[in-house]
Amino acid sequence: MDPDPDSDSDSDPSQEPGQSPIHLLPMDAIHHVFSNLPLRHIIICRSVCKLFKTALSSPPFLETLPPFNLLALRRPISTLHVFDPTLNQWFRFPLDFLPFPSAAPVASSLGLLYLWSHSNSKSSLVLCNPLTRQFRVLPQLGSAWSRHGTVLVSAAGHVLLLSELAALYFSADAGCWRNFSSNLPAKPRSPVVVAGSVFALCDVGSPWRSQWTLFSCRFSEFSRWDRLERHEWGDIFDILKRPRLVSGAGNKVFMVGGLKSSFALNSPCSTILILRLDLDSLEWDEAGRMPTEMFGLFQESTKFKVFGGGGRVWFSGKRVVGRFAMWDYSEAVGRNGIWRWVEGVPGNGDGGLCRGFVFDARLTAVP
C-alpha cells in the first residue's frame, strides 16, 4: 500500500517544532563554517545553544583556530581590559572567577595570562585562561618581587623573574622557585624573550653619561649573559635617548627611543625611532619613525611608555590623554609600517601612564 501523501510519517524533520535545519548538518560542515569566524565570535556562539557549545568545544577543532591577538592593559583591577587591533575595539574579560580581591596582569604566553595577587606581605603569580576561567597559583614570594621584578615566560611555560641583582626561575618539573644571581653589570632595562633567548639593555656608562649595551642569554641558561656587540654596529646605541626593547615577529628585536639631533649630552630629540635587529644576520635597520605631528604630543610629555610585541608597538604619554599611538608593521601595510591613534583607552582620562603587553588568547590553553 502506498503511503498516504498527507501522512505525518513523510514530514520534513527540519520543520518539526523546535528543530532547526542546522541540526541536519554533519559536524565537519559545522566546523568548516565556524573556522572562517574570528575566535571572539566563536566564543560568543558557544553560548547560543547546546549544539554550538558541543561543536565548538571539540579539541581537534579548537586546535585549528589561530590565537586572538590582543593588547592587554597592565593595571590592578578585577576586569582585564583588552584591545583588538583588527576590529579597533576595546572590550573586557571578567576576572571574577579568581579568588582574589584584585590582581595585576603583567605578562602572557601561549594563551595564558600571568597576574600578581597579594596577601599580607606575600605575593603569588597566578596563571589563568580568562576564556575558559581556569587558573593555577604558583608558590608564594616576597612582595618585593611583584614591585621590582620583571616577569618573563618561555614558550615551554617556564617563568623567569629578573631584577637588578637576582633572578628567580620556576619550572613545572621542579615545582618551586630557584634563586640565582642575575650576573649582569647593571640593572636590566626592558628585557624581552625572543626565539628562546632573553635580551636586555644595560647602562654601563657613568653617572654623567649613559652607555647602553645589549646583553642576551638562553632562557634555560639565564646565569650566563653574553654582551652583544659588533664593530659594524658603530654608534647604534648612541643615537637613541632612553632606548627600550620590544619583541618582534620571528627572530627580530625592536629597539625604540628618541632620535637625538646630535651627540651632545642633553641633545633634544627630533622624533621617536624604531630600529630592528635581525638575530639571524645580527644586522640593524630602520623600521619606522613616528610622524612629526604625532611626535609633537610626546615631545611635550615629560614621560612616556613603550610596549608591544610581534609586529606592533604602542606608546603611552603622560599628557597624551585617553589614547595610545600605535605603530603596526607587517608585509601587508608596507615597508615602514602604519602609524595611527588608538582612542578610548580605559582609565586613561586623567592623563596617567598606561602600560600593556600582547595577549594571544586561546581556548585550548590550560594553566
At 21 the pLDDT is: 76
pLDDT at 18 > cutoff 60: no
Share of the chain above pLDDT 70, in %: 90
Mean pLDDT of 328-334: 71
256-280 tens-digit pLDDT = 999 987 766 677 888 999 999 999 9
Q: What are residue 41's phi and psi, to 5 degrees?
A: -70, -35
Residue 265: predicted pLDDT: 66
| CB burial readout 221-242, b (16+ within 10 A) else e | ebeebeeeeeeeeeebbebbbb
pLDDT higher for 302 or 5?
302
Residue 15 has pLDDT above 50, yes or no: no
- Position 332 scores a pLDDT of 61
Average pLDDT of the chain is 84
Q: Amino acid identity, residue 74?
A: R
pLDDT higher for 16 or 318?
A: 318
Q: Which residue has the cell 614591585?
A: 147
The rounded distance, in Å, linking the Cα atoms of 316 and 325 is: 7
pLDDT recorded at residue 13: 44
User: What b/e string do you get for 104-132 counting C-beta neighbours within 10 Å, with b at 16 or more?
Assistant: bbbbbbebbbbbbbbeeeebbbbbbbbbb
Query: With contact defined as beta carbons under 8 Å apart, do 16 and 2 qualify?
Result: no
Which of the 8 DSSP states describes residue 175? -
Q: What is the pLDDT of residues 91-113, one digit of tens each?
A: 888 899 998 877 899 999 999 99
> Mean pLDDT across the stretch 137-152?
89
pLDDT at 331: 60
- Please tell me the predicted confidence (pLDDT) of residue 47: 74
What number is the average pLDDT over the span 34-62?
Answer: 76
The whole-angstrom separation of Cα 358 and Cα 316 is 15
Q: What pLDDT score does 44 carry?
A: 76
- pLDDT tens for residues 211-242? 899 999 998 777 789 999 899 998 899 899 88
Distance of alpha carbon 56 from alpha carbon 34, whole angstroms: 8
Q: Which residues contact 184 (CB under 8 A, 6 or more apart)?
A: 164, 200, 202, 215, 225
Question: Hey, is 118 helix, strand or coil?
Answer: strand
**Would the pLDDT of 193 be above 80?**
yes
CA atoms of 224 and 221, how far apart (whole Å) = 6
Which pLDDT does position 234 carry in this prediction? 85
Indicate the pLDDT class of residue 67, thresholds 50, 70 and 90.
confident
pLDDT at 333 over 70: no
Task: Give the DSSP letter string of 55-81.
Answer: HTT-HHHHTTSPPEEEEEE--SBSEEE
Q: Does pLDDT of 3 surpass 60?
A: no
| pLDDT recorded at residue 219 | 86
pLDDT for residue 341? 95
Question: How much is the pLDDT for 297?
Answer: 87
Look at 11-15, 81-85, 173-177, 263-267 and tell me which has the smallest mean pLDDT.
11-15
Dmax (CA) for the chain in angstroms is 104
* pLDDT on residue 271: 92
The cell numbers describing 335, all together, are: 615597508
